[in-house]
A and B are shown apart, each in its own frame.
Chain A
């Protein structure tokens, strides 16, 4: 279990205000996305994992290390917070170098490692400029560079893609994937669902301080069997297919496309539906394509939280 981040019945209250409540998780290596609207508890969860706040109840272990032991924790863990603030008067290079030195690396090692980390986020040319003069995207990248500088096994990143242009965003996501492929943890938070949908190995959905679902996106999706899955089928004889499909007891709704060239099916049992569709295809309905309409975090999230929370 030492390659996991384990939260056991963790609650955190800020006075009367709930941060997170009764969270139990066992996070495996890979890219894990914490998803939820503002105030859902994503940052509190990250702060708890990294020891910036302490649980009111419960316990946390990061690869077997307590967050109350920063001396050990931050040799394997790094956290790029959401705060867009930096120590005054420092250049990007000084910023990373200075805090890296506290890890016990020598001057030469720190210089080399700092330069390497800055290179990985493509900030080489701005390394010796004051951070105060950086753009939002550059500040995001220098935070990321600082987080990866000591080669952590656990990388916790709060809204890391905010303020990045599409090209840098793609490079950053590639970096996350590289880390995950090496068997490390990359925990990212976001309230923009589509951006984590494509990169996450697993997702933790939060709402009002509670974990409402966790696991692989498809797995989470299947767990919620009462949530009808939507499938779009394009075919030449949509009316015929609609009538046949609707005979299945697991199908709850069928909608014909306005152009008459397809239909949307809502089913409670995806496996049975796909098996039935194989038979129906033989009836000459002219199936051109079949695609899940909502197998993404957004639809799942809306479903899980009742569609009331604002999501983008």
Chain B
């Protein structure tokens, strides 16, 4: 019997793949997955262009990093120019409290801005080039606050709610229900089909995002990173992406079975997941995002623009160890899938009211 069920699950997956994986209807999911890749690609291309520009400036106005770092406050414009030579950019402006000059230098990697008031140095601004640790934090922020909470979330809404609801709208679900297959097996088959589709789409996107982000680093920088925590981070991000599809997939499969309009449960779950950071520690655990954050390799910094009061409301739940996070997520998923399978068992075809 088990062999037959496994075979039927495989057949449902194949059938679903043919029907939905490469359908035009799912195009927006691909675009959603592609969006962060484009963001990081844009960032890298911009960084590459900036670096070329800085190196060209440095060639025209050569100056060493050591010389730049030797500049101290209260030095005069003449002293600075004597040490560093002429800047690649110079701006002069007047304010009520004095006359200001801004001199820009670069060592090819970093940009130094020196601000003079009445010809005396009052401010040094160093804009470092992007480094892997710095970009790693940017990636963590985008991954947790956009990719997990929005892109994968809505991608799963689109894919998983349509597995049953879409076929009800197309009036073609009955073909499945008229075959010798247990409804629970059908639900599992459809879930796994959606999972394969979303894992392939979103994990590919995660890898492409990391590749796009690393484009502007040199080979040696990347090798050094990969020799350190790099491969672990890559594996973790791909794993968290897959785990997000597992968790959100089960919720939206159930939503597609339980609700006629899945937008309502999707909005409710979105609010619940979004409010997760404000929830008491015990309630945090009844969410997918809590486990995903515990599994994420880099902790995303809190949003700097968050109001102080909101920061006070944030309750810190201890991130759970990876094994517990996986166990918690799987338990949540199995419970939700059990509800979905039970609903599938009692499913009736009444297209006129669906």
Q: Taking beta carbons and an 8 Å cutoff, which residues of A are in contact with B? A: 14, 47, 50-54, 70-75, 78-79, 81, 83, 85-90, 94, 98-99, 101-104, 146
Residue picked from A52, A70, A81, A102, most chain B C-beta under 10 Å: A102
The answer to whether B4 touches A104 (Cβ under 8 A) is: yes
Q: Taking beta carbons and an 8 Å cutoff, which residues of B are in contact with A? A: 4, 7-8, 11-12, 15, 18-19, 23, 167, 170-172, 174-183, 346, 348-351, 353
- Set of chain A residues within 8 Å of B175, measured between Cβ atoms: 86-87, 99, 146
The answer to whether B180 touches A72 (Cβ under 8 A) is: yes
Listed A/B pairs (26) with beta-carbon separation below 8 Å = A53-B348, A53-B350, A54-B346, A70-B181, A70-B183, A71-B180, A71-B182, A73-B180, A74-B178, A74-B180, A74-B181, A81-B178, A83-B172, A83-B351, A85-B170, A87-B19, A87-B172, A88-B170, A94-B18, A98-B15, A98-B18, A99-B15, A102-B8, A102-B11, A104-B4, A104-B8
Across the two chains, which residue of chain B brings its CB closest to A12?
B348
- Set of chain A residues within 8 Å of B174, measured between Cβ atoms: 52, 81, 83
- Set of chain A residues within 8 Å of B7, measured between Cβ atoms: 104
- Set of chain B residues within 8 Å of A51, measured between Cβ atoms: 177
Residue picked from B4, B179, B349, B353, most chain A C-beta under 10 Å: B179
Q: Residue B179 contacts which of A72, A87, A103 (CB distance < 8 angstroms)?
A: A103
Q: 10 closest Cβ contacts across the A-B interface?
A: A85-B171, A74-B180, A102-B179, A52-B349, A53-B348, A83-B171, A87-B172, A75-B180, A71-B180, A101-B11
The answer to whether A104 touches B180 (Cβ under 8 A) is: yes
Bound state CA distance, A71 and B179, in angstroms?
A: 7
Can you add 13 more A-B contacts, CB < 8 Å, to A14-B350, A53-B350, A90-B19? Answer: A14-B353, A52-B177, A52-B178, A70-B183, A72-B180, A75-B180, A78-B178, A87-B15, A98-B11, A98-B18, A102-B179, A103-B179, A104-B180
Bound state CA distance, A99 and B175, in angstroms?
A: 7
Residue picked from B7, B167, B172, B346, most chain A C-beta under 10 Å: B172
- Set of chain A residues within 8 Å of B18, measured between Cβ atoms: 89-90, 94, 98
Q: How far is the CB of B190 from chain A (nearest CB, A)?
A: 13
- Set of chain B residues within 8 Å of A99, measured between Cβ atoms: 15, 175-176, 178-179
Residue picked from A53, A81, A85, most chain B C-beta under 10 Å: A85
Bound state CA distance, A101 and B181, in angstroms?
A: 11
Residue picked from B8, B175, B181, B353, most chain A C-beta under 10 Å: B175
Bound state CA distance, A74 and B176, in angstroms?
A: 11
Bound state CA distance, A99 and B242, in angstroms?
A: 29
Residue picked from B170, B178, B179, most chain A C-beta under 10 Å: B178
Q: How far is the CB of A226 from chain B (nearest CB, A)?
A: 38
- Set of chain B residues within 8 Å of A98, measured between Cβ atoms: 11, 15, 18
Across the two chains, which residue of chain B brings its CB closest to A15?
B353
The answer to whether A85 touches B172 (Cβ under 8 A) is: yes
Q: How far is the CB of A109 from chain B (nearest CB, A)?
A: 14
Bound state CA distance, A85 and B179, in angstroms?
A: 17
- Set of chain A residues within 8 Å of B181, measured between Cβ atoms: 70-71, 74, 102
The answer to whether A88 touches B12 (Cβ under 8 A) is: no
Q: How far is the CB of B12 from chain A (nearest CB, A)?
A: 7
